[in-house]
Amino acid sequence: MPSVLLTGASGMIGQAIHKHLIMGGFTVRILVRDRKKADGKNSFFWDYLSEEIDLKAFENMDYIIHLSGANVSKRWTFKYKKEIYDSRIMSTDFLFQTIKNRNIRIKKILSVSGTGYYGNTPTTGLLESSPTGNDFLSMVCRDWENSVKQFSTLKIPVCIFRVGVVISRKGGFIKRVGTPLKYFLGVHLGPGKQMVSWISMIDLCRLFTHAIEKNLTGIFNATASTPITMRQIDDSLAQYYHRKIWLPAIPEWFIKLVLGEMSAIVFTNCHTRNEKIKNTRFTFEQEDFIRALAQ
């Protein structure tokens, strides 16, 4: 089976993809930023800030799956926005320069961006060719993708997934939105009319092995065929947790006051289409939101 070098393995998505690859028979190594966790066998130290990396990590590796990036679900202070940006673009640039300068050969790099690339737009059916937005997350996604595209100058194929909201019971979006419901604080966040493009965790993991097996290159929307409104998500979570939404909706202005610029995560309207990835004969296992919650 192919071998994969994985970055960002400590995050929710990284952990799931790591497990999926191992179960699929792949040989997997991970890059870690904690020296104590680097055993020199399955995990290897790297730090893009100090420009350090254990080159043994690359030995006999076929693919790189690059997921590194600071969590966007913390309050966006000026300092933290810089960390969100640098953790994606600087880490990718450092990886590129390392591979270029050391003439390291790999078969492909697979990375992620986000549907935040499109910004907050009323346009429905966004395609991979649709224009980027003009907000902070759009800028991050655009620059991140451009950084990954550098690898093509080394004749290394590139595959990038623009990932929608990832549905997992283990954390992320569902934990943030669903926790109040679990404790009987059922409430809608604002008017709830904004569209959300989402993907189940299992389908996101399957996309990476599919891209390797089918030798995919290019940019693909990694979203289910069934975008839903934020209000529908609230109602689905209430159904899943056997709770009722009984409190008045929290006004949009109040949420923006509390969350600041980070409120864009809650109120951005994004309706994507996924025909491009489906045309590669990828079949989504989970396109029903309620069932995806149960995974």
Tens-digit pLDDT profile for residues 5-47: 999 999 999 999 999 999 999 999 999 999 999 999 999 999 9
**pLDDT at site 257:** 62
What whole-number distance in Å separates Cα of residue 255 and Cα of residue 120?
Answer: 17
Structure tokens at 128: 């991979």
What letter does residue 156 receive in the DSSP assignment?
Answer: -
**pLDDT at site 73:** 78
Structure tokens at 239: 């159904």
What whole-number distance in Å separates Cα of residue 61 and Cα of residue 147?
Answer: 21
**pLDDT at site 52:** 97
Question: Using alpha carbons only, what angle is made at residue 194 by residues 129 and 189, rounded to the nearest 5 degrees?
Answer: 145
Of 30, 36, 27, which Cα lies nearest the Cα of 10? 30
User: Which residue stretches of the chain have pLDDT < 70?
Assistant: 171-188, 190, 246-251, 253-265, 267, 295
**pLDDT at site 74:** 80
What whole-number distance in Å separates Cα of residue 37 and Cα of residue 39?
Answer: 6
Of 136, 169, 133, 147, which Cα lies nearest the Cα of 66? 147
Structure tokens at 173: 């979006």
